Amino acid sequence: MLNENQYLTPRQIVEELDKYIIGQKDAKRNVAIALRNRWRRMSVATEMKKEIIPNNILMIGATGVGKTEIARRLANLADAPFSKVEASKFTEVGYVGRDVESMVRDLVEQSVNLVKTKKQEEVKEKAALVVEDLILDALIPPIKSTSPNAKIGADSADAMPENDAELNERTRERFREKIRTGELDHRKIEISVKKPVNPGVGMIGGGMMDESSMINLQEMIGNMMPKRNKKRKVSIAEAKRILLEEEAAKLIDMDEVKEEAIRKAENTGIIFIDEIDKIAGNSGKQSGPDVSREGVQRDLLPVVEGTAVNTKYGIIKTDHILFIAAGAFHVSKPSDLIPELQGRFPIRVELENLTKDDFYHILKEPKNALTKQYEALFNAEDVTLDFQDEALHEIAEIAFKVNSEIENIGARRLHTVMSHLLNDLLFDMPDVIAPNAHVVITRELVSERLDQLVKTKDLSEYIL
């Protein structure tokens, strides 16, 4: 049975998403069901397990309403590899540009990093002991003791009396404690680290090899070349970080990491395809002189349907990867996509435009709310920042008004409004606004700084 803590119920998933995303109830419910269905499929013991395919989701909504954030948070909740791509960056096979399979390779890369980090965490304590010994060897090299069985000759010249060896060992143990407590973190030592191998492989002329293939070739040649070490003089704190990464990597089995990463990507991977409306047909027009939108869709189709993609870590099947596509569909419609691709996104969710009240709640409630981010920035200068409730309502109203009159960019408008509101204060710290000061953002202050910009419509187009 799978870990229950990792696979939350749909209600729990929605509750977690609510901590970061305001509104969009339907979208949250659908992604929550899709995520729980993965646990349900992996718990099926019969042959039917292979037949259960994910219900891919098509999100329809204006920019800045939370499409990407929902997908990203969903991946974090599931501890799943996540890859975000823009459909408009893809090109038809045979043309220069990114091929559609590159998004699967990106997903596998993310999966390998996730599994590798987890494995390194498991061997961290063991690696830390090795790192301590390496740092001690640089600080106080160990010495040999003389024993009755010691060889006569060259080896005995390096040997020391027994009491000197004991003193050396006690000194090393004292320094080991200091290393652990961080007392010696600023001290400089010389360490030996692996020198990155750069094969410098390039191609003359316009080859058919794509970017990922070129990286694979460079890595293969790099692995064939002899590994070289170089000396670096760094602080002990920096040495701990560098050596811990190297020693932890030695203790894990990369073949096992690759196998687990492929399984993880195949069964829990999420690929978010943004701007899919940009490759939808539009009255027969093409997106460029050479590359047709329909061509990109037809290249995308087999990957979404389920195919085997070759990556530098092995072959991955895309049958059970969850694909979430999103687009504003201002000009085109979902029905402008080719029928086969439409059929591969059976769940359609229309996200609502954000209201003035939504903006207010976005400013106040999420764990990563902009107000909390700015409070943290002010706290870094030992300055307390507080927002009055009326000020938040005023900020929300101004952002909503600018979106309505100029261009609707959703919650991203709050970033520009907040930046214009607080930039002067951020500039004044700590020269004018001294540490231990208390700054209160009132409705009057918001009106004073932002009202004139909203009234001057031409100016607000550039600033906001």
Work out the average pLDDT over 178-184: 85
Question: What would the pLDDT profile of 38-59 be if each residue is shown by its tens digit?
Answer: 888 888 888 888 888 888 999 9
Q: Which residue has the tokens 């409070």?
A: 375
Q: Collapsing DSSP states into helix, strand and coil, what is residue 46?
A: coil
Q: Collapsing DSSP states into helix, strand and coil, what is residue 234?
A: strand
Query: Is 206's pLDDT higher than 60?
Result: no
Query: Is 204's pLDDT higher than 60?
Result: no
Domains 21-118+257-350 and 356-454 share a fold: no
How would residue 286 be classed by pLDDT, with cut points 50, 70 and 90?
Answer: very low
Query: Is 256's pLDDT higher than 90?
Result: yes
How would residue 436 be classed by pLDDT, with cut points 50, 70 and 90?
Answer: very high
pLDDT value of position 390? 95
pLDDT value of position 456? 62
pLDDT value of position 220? 59
306: left (phi over 0), alpha (psi -120 to 50) or beta: left
Work out the average pLDDT over 307-314: 92
Query: Rounded to an integer, what distance in angstroms lies between the CA atom of residue 319 and that of residue 50?
Result: 9
pLDDT value of position 133? 86
pLDDT > 70: percent of the chain: 81
Query: Is 2's pLDDT higher than 70?
Result: no
pLDDT value of position 147? 53
How would residue 288 be classed by pLDDT, with cut points 50, 70 and 90?
Answer: very low
Domain residue ranges in the chain: 21-118+257-350, 124-251, 356-454
Lowest-pLDDT range of 175-184, 205-214, 381-390 = 205-214
Rg of the chain taking only CA atoms, in angstroms: 29
How would residue 240 be classed by pLDDT, with cut points 50, 70 and 90?
Answer: confident
| 395 or 133, which is more confident | 395
pLDDT value of position 457? 56
How would residue 428 be classed by pLDDT, with cut points 50, 70 and 90?
Answer: very high
Q: Of the segments 134-143, 235-244, 423-432, which one has the largest average pLDDT value?
A: 423-432
For the chain, give the mean pLDDT: 82
Closest C-alpha to 176, from 146, 199, 142: 142
Q: What is the DSSP letter of 150?
A: P
Q: Domain spanning 21-118+257-350: which CATH class is it, in words?
A: alpha beta
Work out the average pLDDT over 68-90: 89
Query: Rounded to an integer, what distance in angstroms lies between the CA atom of residue 50 and that of residue 332?
Result: 35
pLDDT value of position 438? 94
pLDDT value of position 18? 92
159: left (phi over 0), alpha (psi -120 to 50) or beta: beta
pLDDT value of position 205? 44
pLDDT value of position 12? 93
Query: Is 106's pLDDT higher than 60?
Result: yes
For domain 356-454, give the fold.
Helicase, Ruva Protein; domain 3 (1.10.8)
pLDDT value of position 152? 43
pLDDT value of position 157? 44
Work out the average pLDDT over 403-429: 89
Work out the average pLDDT over 151-157: 45
